[in-house]
Amino acid sequence: MSLFAHQPFSDYLHHWSLQRPPFLGCPDFFFSGQPQRETLAALQYFAASTWKLAFLTATSRTGVSHLLEHMVSMRGLGSSPVDVILTRISGQGSQTPIQQLGSLLGYGHSSTTTRQMIDAAIQQSDKQGISTLWFLENCSVSTISVAAGFAQRHRNFSVVATTQPDQRPLLQLSAGMCGMQIELEPLTPHDTAAYVSAALKQAGSIRAIFSEASIRRLHELCAGLIGEIAVIAESALTTAACSGLSKITPATIEQVFESHNMQRRTQPPGDDELLGKRVA
């Protein structure tokens, strides 16, 4: 689910002197923390390599949808001419990934697009010296075998399939070929603080709205999952504004988290915490 699926009540913006919702109201804003930078670097390496298939593993709410949208907006990777194509299943009755691929390759919204037609379009791009990189969001078992077939048949056609950790083994088996392993990790505590600061700044904030302790609690409760951080942080702005607060505290984060009935998550301790335990 996109980070921008929720549209919050907007009256709180005046209270915080914000121009727009900072966390859920600006789809053009892309935060590049350490996990995002590492994943983008791995994808760039994949695109320039001889690998034909990659599995991008990400747990729910790590922001993989927004990262893929950012990849498409880049219109290429480095100096290499790459046509980046993204397909996703948006709901019942939507086009299949194969139909979406055919549409993006120039066959319109026809439901009769065949694999042979897609092969011909890929060959045409290949003749022009353009590589094609197909991102399959939430790739299914039924689609991965077809996608792997295209990758095997065409020299300059590669596939990146996104999947949940528990689904990856079955997807690998169904692909019938080896794939590079890429993983999008949750944000670190440092990245969570940087994300909150950057999101507020792009929305017009000129002061610290969240206390340092509230950001730490936000990170702990959401375990660094940027999708959950965005929802809780946006709701905290509304809740605190309605209460007339001048700053968001850990108590506000706790209140909002409980109201959303979110599951408390755990995250492996960071280097600082491990060091503290060793010293103790």
Exposed, middle or buried by CB within 10 Å (0-12, 13-18, 19+), for 189? Answer: middle
Q: Which CATH architecture has domain 12-29+187-269?
A: Orthogonal Bundle (1.10)
**Which pLDDT does position 111 carry in this prediction?**
66
**Which pLDDT does position 103 carry in this prediction?**
87
Average pLDDT score over the chain: 86
Question: What is the C-alpha separation between 114 and 94, in angstroms, rounded?
Answer: 17
Predicted structure pTM score:
0.83
Answer yes or no: are the C-beta atoms of 122 and 149 closer than 8 Å.
no
**Which pLDDT does position 7 carry in this prediction?**
42
Which run of H or E residues covers position 82? strand 82-87
**Which pLDDT does position 82 carry in this prediction?**
80
What's the first-to-final CA gap in the chain, in angstroms?
42
Phi–psi pair at 84, nearest 5 degrees = -95, 120
DSSP string, 39-71: HHHHHHHHHHSS--EEEEE--TTSSHHHHHHHH
Residue 224, token pair as written in the block: 């660094």
Domain ranges of the chain: 12-29+187-269, 34-183
Q: Which amino acid is at 203?
A: A
Low-confidence residues in the chain, pLDDT < 50: 1-8, 268-280
Q: In 140-276, where do the E strands start and end? A: 157-163, 180-183
**Which pLDDT does position 79 carry in this prediction?**
61
Task: Give the chain's largest Cα–Cα span.
Answer: 66
Residue 190, token pair as written in the block: 């440092």
**Which pLDDT does position 260 carry in this prediction?**
86
Question: What is the C-alpha separation between 31 and 52, in angstroms, rounded?
Answer: 28
Question: What is the C-alpha separation between 157 and 83, in angstroms, rounded?
Answer: 10
Q: Which long-range contacts (CB under 8 A, 24 or more apart) does 167-175 make?
A: 168/55, 168/57, 170/141, 171/55, 171/139, 171/141, 171/144, 172/55, 174/141, 174/144, 174/145, 175/53, 175/144, 175/145, 175/147, 175/148
**Which pLDDT does position 8 carry in this prediction?**
47
**Which pLDDT does position 267 carry in this prediction?**
52
Answer yes or no: are the C-beta atoms of 99 and 149 closer than 8 Å.
no
Q: Which CATH architecture has domain 34-183?
A: 3-Layer(aba) Sandwich (3.40)
